[in-house]
Amino acid sequence: MNDSPLIDISDVTHAYKTEAGPLPVLRDLTIRAAEGTFTAVVGPSGCGKSTLTRLVAGLMIPDEGEVRLHGELVKSPRKTVGMAFQNPVLLEWRTIMDNVLLPLEIVGTKLNRAEQRDRAMELLTLVGLDGFEDKRPSELSGGMRQRASLCRSIVHRPEVLILDEPFGALDNFTREDLWQTMHDLRKAETFTCVLITHDLRESLFLGDQVVVLSGRPATVQYVMDVTLGPDRVLDDLYTPESAENLHILRDQIKIAQGRDVA
């Protein structure tokens, strides 16, 4: 890890223009993430988390402040970013394989057709979807679709991976399986990840740092450095230390929501 952060969001302020006037969503927000790290962002509903991801992806430009990736100012979308959402948005008219290959058709690649398929197959195998590459999305369960969506988001080896509540719609068991899958992907691939989530346990289990955003307009209210190592197991969430951390995070969310801490 070098000292200049890979993701550098500094003093970003942003408002949506609505019919009722400007709606301030982000205020003086600063987040830094070193290369290869995993940043989990939590915050009250509607506080501006998805807006933040759109700024990092270059889909929008902030009113004030700047977003830099690798020191370069983000002014438009770039090919070195991968995204996945709560809705897996797989294309029903394509097979799982062709869905995963989609980014390569857009960003261009030196790989030939067979190498592209090998690359996709490597990821599908990693997430446990080998044997399903020729199926249609509708033939897969929700968790499997989300796995396919994850493969698609990293098939082009992005530097930055943006995940906006990708596990939010899944049941608890499936979600915990996918956390494990996320760790497997992290070991096999190199990316710097920003994960938006509503689930505090998820933020602790996956994040190297957990950023708590305040209510809208969102700013960074609290940052927790997670001390769990790279080889995490679910039981790590049930240690006294984790319980204590979860407690702190829960209190921070209450503050962000404007509720009193008991």
Partner 1 sequence: MTAIRKAGIPLLAILIFALFWEWLVWFNAWPNYKMASPSDLGPAFWKFRWLFLEYGWDTLWRTVVGLLLAILVGIGIGVIMGFSRTMREALYPLLVGFNAIPKATVVPVIALLFVGQHDFNTVLMAFMISFFPIAVSVSIGLSTLEPEYRDILRALGASRWQIFTKIALPKTLPEFFGALKVSVTLAFIGTNLMEIVEPHGRGLGHLFDSGKISADYPLMFAVLIALAVLGIALYYIVVMLEQTFAGWAERAET
Ligand X SMILES: Nc1ncnc2c1ncn2[C@@H]1O[C@H](COP(=O)(O)OP(=O)(O)OP(=O)(O)O)[C@@H](O)[C@H]1O
Point out which residues bind Mg ion (CB under 5 A).
50
Please report which helix (H) or strand (E) contains residue 11, including its range.
Answer: strand 7-18
87 binds ligand X, rule: CB under 6 A: no
Return the CA Rg of the chain. 18
The interface region with partner 1, picked from 20-28, 32-40, 86-94, 238-246 by CB under 8 A, is 86-94
- Residue 58 CB burial class (10 angstroms; 0-12, 13-18, ≥19): middle
- Looking at the Cβ atoms of 93 and 173, the one nearer to partner 1 is 93
Task: Choose the one of partner 1, ligand X, Mg ion, none that binds residue 83, judging by a C-beta under 5 to 8 angstroms depending on kind.
Answer: partner 1
75 binds partner 1, rule: CB under 8 A: no
The binder of ligand X chosen from 45, 76, 112, 227 (CB under 6 A): 45
- Looking at the Cβ atoms of 45 and 76, the one nearer to partner 1 is 76
143 binds ligand X, rule: CB under 6 A: no
93 binds partner 1, rule: CB under 8 A: yes
22 binds ligand X, rule: CB under 6 A: no
CB of 50 to Mg ion, least distance (A): 3
Cα–Cα distance between 202 and 83 in angstroms, integer? 18
The residue with its CB nearest to ligand X is 50
Helix, strand, coil % over all residues of the chain, rounded to 5: 35, 25, 40
CB of 162 to Mg ion, least distance (A): 12
Q: Quickly tell me which residue has 């223009």 as its tokens.
A: 17
Tokens of 231: 């080889």
- Looking at the Cβ atoms of 153 and 209, the one nearer to partner 1 is 153
The residue with its CB nearest to Mg ion is 50
Q: Give φ, ψ of 221 to 5 degrees.
A: -100, -30
How far lies 36's CA from each of 39, 159, 220, 230, in Å?
10, 9, 21, 12
20 binds ligand X, rule: CB under 6 A: no
Kindly give the interhelix angle for 142-154 and 96-107, rounded to the nearest 10 degrees. Answer: 20
Q: Quickly tell me which residue has 């019919």 as its tokens.
A: 19
Interface pattern 110-139 for partner 1 (x via CB under 8 A): --------------------------xxx-
Contact residues for ligand X, defined by CB under 6 A: 16, 18, 23, 25, 45-51, 216
